[in-house]
Structure 1
Amino acid sequence: MDSEGPTLFADGPSVDMTRSTEEDSLVDGPLISSDALHSVIRREFQTVPTSYQAGLLSLLHILYVVLSICVAVLCVLKLGQEEVCMKVLGNVDGSSAIVFGKVCLWVLVLLFTGCVQHHHNQVRSRGYLQFYRQTQRLKQLPLTIHSAGNVFLLVLMGTRLPQTVHTYMLLSVLGLELLVAVPCLLFYTVKVMQFNSQRAAPDVSQEELSHNYSVTSLPTETGFRGGSSLEEVVEKQADLIEYLKQHNTLLSKRLLNLTAQH
């Protein structure tokens, strides 16, 4: 009886000790430092290439307006160089050439907006929700402005105005469109270049750092604040949940790859 008691007593703690050592090995093992993790995130950072496209589109818009002014002055108002206009445009009327150019420019803006939406969706899936929301309306402004310009041109074409007044009104619409659309593209370009130069970590990682290094931290964007509408909070949380799901899937794949290597 005396020999069996210590044996049973010894077996119980041995199981607990092995279990605790296994759990401690998982918890107290060599962990990756936060600096190393953030350095890896910065190396894996993917820039948004739409700043070059926005700059090119701005140059094309300025070039189109300059050429439209030349065509309107030389070919529509017929202030000289009519032979050159006949050689360049042929039988096409000067006003029609300006309208055709406007349609081509609108198609380029439409393609640019689709490309920007594609890249910003990728940025959103990588966890940069704040940048996505900051540029959500800004990236749609050029297409909205050009579409409004097309509406004004259609209204102008439907009215029966004298040729001179019609031409000046046409140039006024194009000039106003240029003064509004190009600054929006330039501001968007600056935003994207700042985002690319910062090479910041995803929003979730930044919030974790703010919680770790600041004791009295303010509420973050993922929580509910009194000034936020319920729809905005739900949308932000949905974006965050979607990102965390994709992030966990990626981490699981990396863990499986590391396990297979070892």
Structure 2
Amino acid sequence: MDSKGPSPYATGAAVDFSRSMDEDSLVDGPLISTDALHSAIRREFQTIPTYCHSGLLSLLHVVYVVLSVCVAVLCVLEYGQVDQCAKIFGVIGGDSAIVFGKVCLWVLVLLFTGCAQHHHSRARKKGYLRFYREMQGLMHLPLTIHSTGNALLLVLLSAGLSQKVCTYMLLSILGVELLVALPCLVYYTVKVTQFNRVRAAPDVSQEEHSHNYSITSSPTETGFREGSNLEEVVEKQADLIEYLKQHNTLLSKRLLNLTAQH
């Protein structure tokens, strides 16, 4: 008995004819290479300008401490010309001028911390999550150090010590504060400068590149593993999803522009 079943050639033809013209145009069109995408991302890299602010803040901190020592020795401890100090500071006094300068320096550190937080948050949204987490504690450390110095200064002023002892302790606090805060600012400046010089791709692109060209590459830290912090993993996933949404939007715009050009 001859049974007439569906021919495989007919089925294949039906499958071929079922494809839409849009799919044919997408498949037959030129594909964007990975290297081209990486080069486009590098061109759109935005540097973090806070290394200039941290360098300037470091210089101002050194100048403030040097001037404070000069004012304390010449005007407060009266090892210099007291009349000249009285003409410069008037009724304020040298010790009060040092305290006012300390407050102004703290305000500058506060403004620097807010500016750094703003620019690093922008880098975080662009996919540089690892660098953001690495610098998060460092960029807040100078403000913590200066705030601690202010607290010690308030305790010193309210202790009711003699003027000579109070001046020496004030200079000691300023010196220790400089020795601790200045290396933090210098290290922050170096790290941000290196980040701007490398102009690396976002973390996701680096992981994809390492998986494509390295067989023995280490696994990513996106998933949850034993011994890891669940809150940190969830936060990383949220940052990653936010970046991928923005990245997909950017790629869609590029595809539309390429389609309009062709």
**TM-score where L is the length of structure 2:** 0.91
Give 1:242 deviation, angstroms.
1.1
Q: Write the deviation string for residues 191-242 of structure 1: whole angstroms up to 9, x where unpaired.
A: 1011111110000000111111122322112222333211111111111111
Structure 2 residue 118 is the aligned partner of structure 1 residue 118: yes
Q: Does 1:129 align with 2:129?
A: yes
**Amino acid paired to 2:140:** Q
For residue 188 of structure 1, what is the aligned residue in structure 2? Answer: 188
RMSD across aligned positions (CA):
2.2
Q: Determine helix, strand or coil for the equivalent of 2:160.
A: coil
Alpha-carbon distance in 2 for matches of 1:138, 1:214: 32
Tell me the CA shift for residue 259 of structure 1.
4.1
Structure 2 unmatched ranges of 5 or more: none
In the aligned structure 1, how far is the partner of 2:216 from the partner of 2:225?
16
Partner of 1:105: 105
Structure 1 residue runs of 4 or more that deviate by more than 6 Å after TM superposition: 9-12
Q: Deviations over 1:130-178 (max 9, x none)?
A: 0000001000001110000000000000011111110000000000000
For 2:157, the aligned partner's letter is M
Q: Show the counterpart of 2:250.
A: 250
CA contact (8 A) 1:219 1:225 kept: no
Report matched runs for 1:234-249 at 5 Å: 234-249=234-249
In 1, the alpha carbon distance for the partners of 2:9 and 2:179 equals 85
Q: Distance in 2 between matches of 1:25 and 1:254?
A: 17
Q: Is the 8 A contact 2:86 2:93 kept in 1?
A: no
Indicate the residue corresponding to 2:43 in structure 1.
43
Partners in 2 of 1:220 and 1:37 — Cα distance?
Answer: 21
Q: How big is the shift at 1:257?
A: 3.9
Which residue is 1:17 aligned to? Answer: 16
C-alpha contact 1:129 1:239 (8 A) present in aligned 2: yes
Q: Please give the per-residue CA displacement for 1:230-260, whole angstroms capped at 9, x wherever unaligned.
A: 1111111111111111222222333344444
Q: In structure 2, what is the Cα distance between the partners aligned to 1:19 and 1:94? A: 88
> Which residue type is aligned with residue 99 of structure 1?
V
SS at match of 2:136: coil
Correspondences of 1:87-102 after superposition (within 5 Å): 87-102=87-102
In the alignment, residue 196 of structure 1 is paired with which amino acid? N
d(CA) in 2 for partners of 1:235 and 1:61?
Answer: 36
**How much does 1:24 deviate?**
5.3
Q: Contact 1:109 / 1:142 at 8 angstroms: preserved in 2?
A: yes
In structure 1, what residue type is equivalent to 2:44? E
* Displacement of 1:38: 1.2
Partners of 1:102 and 1:155 in 2: CA distance: 15
Which residue in the other structure is 1:142 paired with?
142
Task: Determine what percentage of the aligned residue pairs are the same residue.
Answer: 72
- Unpaired runs of 5+ residues, structure 1, are none
Moved more, 252-261 or 195-204: 252-261
> Could you say if the C-alpha distance between residues 45 and 53 of structure 1 is closer, same or farther in structure 2, counting changes exceeding 3 Å?
same
Task: Report the Cα offset of residue 62 of structure 1.
Answer: 0.3
Letter in 2 for 1:16: V
CA distance in 1, matches of 2:251, 2:34: 16
Partner of 2:204: 204
**TM-score under structure 1 normalisation?**
0.91
Describe the SS at the equivalent of 1:215: coil
The CA deviation string for residues 108-127 of structure 1, in whole angstroms up to 9 with x for no partner, is: 00100010011001000110
